[in-house]
C-alpha cells in the first residue's frame, strides 16, 4: 500500500475515533491495532501525537468544508440550486464529528483556532450564495450567521432529520425577499 493511502487511513481512523469518543480517543496504539498496522506506521507518517492532531484538523477542514464547497460548486446551477445542494448535504450529514471537534475546541486553543477558521469559511460561502440570490451584503451576512447557528442547534437535537418538504421551506425562506 502506498504511503499516501496509509496516511489517509490514519487520518480517516483518527476522525472516526474523534467522532465516536472525542479527542481523548486518539490513542496511537489502539488506532494502530484497529488499522492492523504497527505503531511504527504511525511514526512513519506523523512526528508525534501533536502532529497527528494538527493533520486531523487539516483533514477535517478539507473534507468537511472545502471539499463540500467544491462539490456544491461543481454540481453547479444558479445560487438557489447550489444553496439547495448545500442545505441537503449539510442537514443529512453525521454531526458527531463536528460536535466532537467543537467540544475539543473548548479545551484546546489550537483546535478553537481551526474551528473559527472553518466557521469563517462556511459563513462566507453561505453569505456569498445569499448575495447571489439577491440579499444585500449586511442582510446576507446576518442570515448566514443565523442559519449557521440554527444548523448547529439542529445537530444538537436528538435524531432529527429534515424532510425534503422542510428543506424546500427553508430554501424558500432564503430565496424569497
Domain hosting 96: range is 3-175
Residue 65 carries which DSSP code? I
Predicted pLDDT at 156: 84
Each residue of 64-90: pLDDT tens digit? 999 999 999 999 999 999 999 999 999
Quote the CA–CA distance of 152 and 137 in Å, as a whole number: 23
Residue 4's pLDDT band, with cuts at 50, 70 and 90, is: low
> What stretches of 22-61 show up as alpha helix (H) in DSSP?
28-35, 39-45, 49-61
Quote the CA–CA distance of 58 and 54 in Å, as a whole number: 6
Total of domains in the chain:
1
pTM of this prediction?
0.90
**What's 84's domain CATH number?**
1.10.357.10
The CA–CA distances, whole Å, from 61 to 17, 46, 135 equal 16, 18, 27
Amino acid at each position: 500500500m502506498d504511503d499516501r493511502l496509509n496516511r489517509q487511513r490514519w487520518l480517516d481512523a483518527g476522525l472516526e475515533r474523534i467522532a465516536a469518543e472525542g479527542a481523548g480517543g486518539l490513542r496511537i496504539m489502539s488506532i494502530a491495532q484497529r488499522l492492523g498496522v504497527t505503531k511504527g506506521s504511525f511514526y512513519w507518517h506523523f512526528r508525534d501525537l501533536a502532529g497527528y492532531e494538527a493533520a486531523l484538523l487539516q483533514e477535517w477542514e478539507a473534507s468537511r468544508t472545502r471539499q463540500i464547497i467544491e462539490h456544491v460548486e461543481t454540481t453547479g446551477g444558479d445560487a438557489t440550486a447550489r444553496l439547495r445542494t448545500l442545505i441537503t448535504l449539510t442537514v443529512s450529514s453525521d454531526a458527531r464529528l463536528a460536535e466532537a471537534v467543537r467540544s475539543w475546541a473548548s479545551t484546546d486553543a489550537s483546535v478553537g483556532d481551526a474551528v473559527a477558521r472553518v466557521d469563517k469559511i462556511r459563513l462566507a460561502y453561505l453569505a456569498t450564495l445569499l448575495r447571489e440570490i439577491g440579499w444585500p451584503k449586511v442582510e446576507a451576512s446576518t442570515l448566514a450567521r443565523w442559519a449557521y447557528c440554527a444548523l448547529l442547534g439542529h445537530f444538537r437535537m436528538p435524531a432529527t432529520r429534515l424532510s425534503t418538504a422542510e428543506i424546500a421551506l427553508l430554501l424558500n425562506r432564503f430565496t424569497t425577499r
